């Protein structure tokens, strides 16, 4: 019988190799679509499970940063819901994207921060407490901000129903998170023991969502794949860069600058996929799936760069101290 410790090791391995699994299953679903199309109707359920898992990892203490460092959290939230939506809008116009792709790119830009950003901020020697709080706050703002900004920016390409999208975000994001936080509050010891398994559940859920979208979009990927990839890479990289600059502009410390860069650049692409499949079309979900793959490559690369830079600085500092 598999023990919890063994499951935790498998979960840790799955989390560390997430990008590999999502690329592998994206390829499998492209070449064997019939094996994955059945997942598509269950995408909202999968996202709800992922968000419930996020809620389990949160506690009341995680929100203390809102009161301890409100400036940083506000800058992170404002940057999240201005930089990525406006960059998406600009890219849609610049590349003259077809309506469904334009709406899909904008939807990714209007999504809250992705949960993987917390791990990336930690690895980058950023402000991990700020990252957790900023992700939680932007996610709790999502029922209002995501539908409103999508309606505001994407309505010239596709019809957008604010209220229908609002209800969906409440159902698949807000309620599961609140339920997860409540379960954590009521059963803290049991939850603490099981949190090590949560990365595995998230990986299975996101890989399932990505595989389903690729499977139902095989022909669209063949004709539009390169264009979408270029737009997604630009979107992500500009988000990382402008997020860093926004924190620098407001004179936050260097760890917080790195954290806000990662928070802004990494999106909850699972939510964008769910909303695109529900309210637009399978094609509109393709940008969010490619974004999911790409930001789990660019995020670790940037985190590794910053981590090594911090280690080098510490080494230089230690050498200077020893020379005194």
* Helix axis angle, 269-279 to 286-322, nearest 10°: 170
**Amino acid 120: pLDDT:** 78
Q: Where are the domains of the chain?
A: 23-316
Domain 23-316: top CATH class? mainly alpha
* Residues 172/52, Cβ–Cβ less than 8 Å: no
Q: Per-residue pLDDT tens for 252-291?
A: 988 899 999 999 998 888 888 888 888 888 889 889 888 8
**Amino acid 2: pLDDT:** 64
Q: How far apart are CA 284 and CA 303, in angstroms?
A: 29
* Residues 87/242, Cβ–Cβ less than 8 Å: yes
Under 8 Å CB-to-CB from 12, ≥6 apart: which residues?
A: 196, 199
Which range has the top average pLDDT, 30-44, 65-79, 97-111, 291-305?
A: 97-111
Any idea how long the chain is?
Answer: 324
Cα distances (Å, whole numbers) of residue 321 to 79, 312, 314, 318, 324: 38, 14, 10, 5, 6
**Amino acid 322: pLDDT:** 45
Helix ranges, 95-127 (H): 99-109, 116-123
Long-range contacts of 86-94, Cβ-Cβ distance < 8 Å, separation of 24 or more: 87/235, 87/238, 87/239, 87/242, 88/153, 88/235, 89/153, 91/231, 91/234, 91/235, 92/157
Q: Map residue 159 onto helix, strand or coil.
A: coil
Q: Label residue 197 exposed, middle or buried (CB < 10 Å: 0-12, 13-18, 19+).
A: middle
**Amino acid 83: pLDDT:** 95
Query: pTM for the complete prediction?
Result: 0.83
Q: Label residue 276 exposed, middle or buried (CB < 10 Å: 0-12, 13-18, 19+).
A: buried
């Amino acid at each position: 019988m598999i023990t919890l410790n063994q499951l935790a090791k498998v979960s840790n391995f799955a989390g560390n190799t997430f990008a590999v699994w999502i690329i592998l299953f994206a390829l499998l679903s492209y070449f064997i679509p019939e094996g994955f199309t059945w997942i598509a109707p269950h995408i909202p359920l999968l996202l709800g499970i992922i968000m419930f898992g996020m809620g389990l990892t949160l506690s009341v203490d995680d929100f203390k940063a809102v009161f301890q460092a409100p400036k940083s959290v506000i800058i992170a939230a404002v940057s999240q819901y201005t930089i990525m939506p406006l960059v998406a809008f600009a890219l849609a116009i610049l590349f003259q994207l077809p309506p469904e792709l334009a709406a899909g790119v904008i939807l990714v830009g209007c999504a809250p921060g992705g949960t993987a950003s917390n791990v990336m901020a930690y690895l980058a020697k950023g402000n991990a407490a700020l990252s957790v709080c900023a992700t939680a706050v932007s996610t709790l703002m999502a029922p209002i901000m995501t539908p409103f900004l999508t309606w505001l920016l994407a309505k010239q390409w596709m019809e957008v129903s604010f209220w229908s999208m609002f209800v969906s975000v409440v159902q698949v994001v807000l309620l599961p998170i609140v339920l997860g936080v409540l379960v954590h509050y009521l059963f803290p010891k049991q939850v603490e023991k099981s949190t090590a398994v949560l990365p595995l559940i998230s990986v299975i859920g996101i890989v399932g969502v990505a595989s389903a979208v690729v499977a139902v979009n095989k022909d669209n990927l063949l004709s539009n794949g390169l264009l979408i990839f270029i737009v997604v890479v630009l979107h992500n990289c500009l988000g990382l860069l402008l997020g860093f600059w926004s924190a620098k502009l407001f004179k936050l410390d260097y760890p917080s600058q790195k954290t806000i860069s990662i928070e802004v650049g990494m999106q909850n692409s699972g939510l964008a996929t769910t909303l695109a499949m529900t309210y637009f079309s399978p094609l509109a979900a393709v940008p969010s799936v490619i974004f999911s793959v790409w930001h789990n490559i660019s995020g670790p690369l940037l985190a590794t760069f910053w981590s090594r830079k911090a280690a080098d600085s510490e080494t230089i500092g230690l050498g200077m101290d020893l020379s005194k």
